[in-house]
Chain A
Amino acid sequence: MYRYDEFDHAFVRERVAEFKGQVERRLSGQLTEDEFKPLRLRNGLYLQLHAYMLRIAIPYGVLSPKQLRQLAMIGRRWDRGYGHFTTRQNLQFNWVKLVDIPDVLAALAEVEMHCIQTSGNCVRNVTADPFAGAANDELEDPRPWCEILRQWSTLHPEFSWLPRKFKIAISGAAEDRAAIAFHDIGLKIVRGPDGENGFRVLVGGGMGRIPYVGQEIRAFLPKQHLLSYIESILRVYNLYGRRDNIHKARIKILVNKLGIDAFREAVEADWEATHKDAIDLPEDERKRIMSYFAPPDLAPRPIGDEALDQRRAADPIFANWLKHNVRPHRVPGYSTVVVSLKEPGRTPGDASSEAMELVADLAERFSRGEARVNYTQNLMLPHVATSDVVAIYDILVENGLATGNHDLLGDMICCPGLDYCNLANARSIPIAKEIAKRFEDPKRQEMIGPLRLNMSGCINACGHHHSGNIGILGVDKKGTELYQISLGGNPKDDAAIGTIIGPGFRAEAVPQAIDTIIETYLAERTGDETFLDTWRRVGAQPFKEALYAAR
């Protein structure tokens, strides 16, 4: 993984010192809250419902054991012993004190982490396929390009005050596991006409109150032009994006107002006129960054493992976990293990300091010193010898982290909602827990098959409800929490926005409504259709009838 050079260290240390001074000036009265707020937000510090919340960037979801241990220490020393992994491959602490923030930032800097640009109208943490460098369907590792974009976008003078925040995601694999079509810019590494790899570029995707699926602005962009082309996209957005209405300020609104063809023309014209050949990354710098992402030295091993096969045959719970939470690695005899943070009864995405330390130990012992976080709010061990999978499972079981529900109904995305968030209109965590309880039986989840259930506590859609096969949106209706259900969303290739199925449900009725939707799907399903397949074939009508006929 990337390691800070002297410049990076000095830059982050200077930033910590700068914010320390700003905190001191706030506490001594030299800065009012109005003056301080934009400064703290630039450093990822929000004032939420109960306390300050600190959002820490985990660049493209990659974590070292040292970093995980430091996060665990921070959680224990300055928070309440846990953190919340988010849908943007970030970690949030919910109870940090303002007076402690300079110490927390200094502790993060020690392990090459920071909170810069985790808020504000700038380019945010660039996210990636969490299986990067390990997936067996990958054309090229996207992480070096994420790092290049990170370095380019950090404190970029032209793009630090955009009309609104800006999110970029990159996938280098056949399957989209980074929801690239729901980002301001989505990049997919593809093979070009001359056999070289480059980028398919999507623009204008996003969630929020007006969701859009990203549209193709370029079918193939040679890699050497990535920075200049993205600069041109951002420049056109910076010039023409709306600043008069926060709800219409994202690039998706501009792209859809102009139309993708007119937007493309504007971008291409800027690109031709300005930087097409001028500013892209020098070759030696590109090579320097690439060198940090050399694949780990994994000697191929036998694919089969006798102990694992025996355990699978004898232990159905293990077999279920193995089927869903362990994916084949690109190197024969290795696997990637998903450590579920979705045990029924717990808050989705929350991890205790002990859990972080455990995953750090496992990463060190079994996964070449690397862990990951995915945008669906789980941790991962990317490079594990398949013969070690049983040992890892037994340790996870002892620590309540072996729930075998990856990409099943129980693997819900869930924002913090009204239990923490100042913007939320409704709670999401208790609803997720009630649904998890109802569908706790692994056999039932197995029968239902792959299903993405996403939930947000407000229209800002941090919980990605628009892209859930089943999406739940909490709203406030005259002081009562009400939950709107949408069906048919899809975050992957062939991305789609869910369709609102009808009037909303009160909180206590949501689990039964989800049950009714699932039973309708199972009744309508033919062959081995997934929920999405069935939805696409039968449409809304059977679901509407089942949900509302008796009303």
Chain B
Amino acid sequence: MPNVITANRLIDGIVVYLAAGGEWTEEIGRARLAETEEDTKALEQEAAHDVDARKVVAVYPMEVAVQDGEVDPLSVRERIRAAHRTTLTKDWYDVPL
């Protein structure tokens, strides 16, 4: 399965994914996919550089599935991170994840 690189942005902690052109995006759908172990390591190196550059913290790679062009983060934890959800709203009865 492909991997994407995720992290939290340093200045506000928001969940981000490494995208094309070295950009960090909040949308998992725009994350760069690493199809091989080698690709994943290359992305991790790029991310490590951005840790040093104080763009992001808490970097790690994670497996995803791609179905019909949609990126699925697989675990409940990563689906929640990708959704950037908030819980104040009344009747926020949960949608199944």
Contacts and interface: CB of A to CB of B under 8 A. Distances in A.
B12 A433 contact: no
A33 B55 CA distance: 12
A427 B97 CA distance: 11
A95 interface: yes
A437 B90 CA distance: 12
A419 B74 CA distance: 16
Contacts of B10: 26-27, 98
Given A28-B54, A479-B76, 18 more contacts: A27-B10, A47-B13, A50-B13, A50-B14, A80-B86, A80-B88, A82-B88, A94-B86, A345-B90, A347-B87, A347-B92, A350-B87, A418-B77, A419-B80, A427-B80, A434-B94, A479-B74, A481-B76
Interface in A34-62: 47-52
Contacts of B92: 345-347, 433
A86 B10 CA distance: 26
A99 interface: yes
A97 B88 contact: no
B11 interface: yes
Given A33-B57, A47-B57, A430-B93, A98 B12 contact: yes
- Interface size of A as a range: 35 or more
B15, B57, B86 — which one has the most chain A CB atoms within 10 A of its CB? B86
A481 B97 CA distance: 11
A81 B10 CA distance: 22
B60 to A, nearest CB: 12
A350 B88 contact: yes
Contacts of A49: 15, 77, 80-81
A98 B10 CA distance: 7
Nearest to A425: B77
Contacts of A343: 90
B94 A433 contact: yes
Contacts of A429: 87, 94
A430 B93 CA distance: 6
A418 B81 CA distance: 9
A400 B87 contact: no
B87 A419 contact: yes
A282 interface: no
Contacts of A419: 80, 85, 87
A281 B94 CA distance: 52
A426 B97 CA distance: 12
Given A49-B81, A98-B13, A347-B88, A430 B76 contact: no
A96 to B, nearest CB: 8
A29 interface: yes
Nearest to A80: B86
B25 interface: no
Contact of B11 (A80, A95, A98, A346): A98
Nearest to A351: B88
Nearest to B56: A33
A352 B88 contact: yes
Nearest to B52: A29
Contacts of A48: 13
Interface of A: 26-29, 33, 47-52, 80-82, 94-95, 97-99, 343, 345-347, 350, 352, 400, 418-420, 426-427, 429-430, 433-434, 437, 479, 481, 508
Contact of B51 (A27, A33, A95, A346): A33
A481 B94 CA distance: 14
A38 to B, nearest CB: 14
B58 interface: yes
B10, B14, B88 — which one has the most chain A CB atoms within 10 A of its CB? B88
Given A29-B54, A418-B80, A50 B15 contact: yes
Contacts of B74: 479
10 contacts: A27-B54, A29-B54, A33-B51, A47-B57, A51-B15, A97-B11, A352-B88, A400-B90, A479-B74, A481-B76
A245 to B, nearest CB: 24
B27 to A, nearest CB: 14
Given A47-B58, A437-B93, A479 B86 contact: no
Contact of B93 (A26, A29, A426, A433): A433
Given A97-B13, A98-B13, A418-B76, A50 B84 contact: yes
Contacts of B85: 50, 419
B90 A346 contact: yes
A350 B87 CA distance: 9
Name the 7 nearest CB pairs between A and B, nearest first. A430-B94, A97-B12, A51-B13, A52-B13, A347-B87, A82-B88, A345-B91
Nearest to B78: A49
A98 B14 CA distance: 10
A420 B93 CA distance: 16
B10, B80, B84, B87 — which one has the most chain A CB atoms within 10 A of its CB? B87
Contacts of A95: 86
Contact of B94 (A81, A94, A427, A479): A427
B36 interface: no
Contacts of A347: 87-88, 92
A125 to B, nearest CB: 23
Given A27-B54, A33-B51, A51 B14 contact: yes
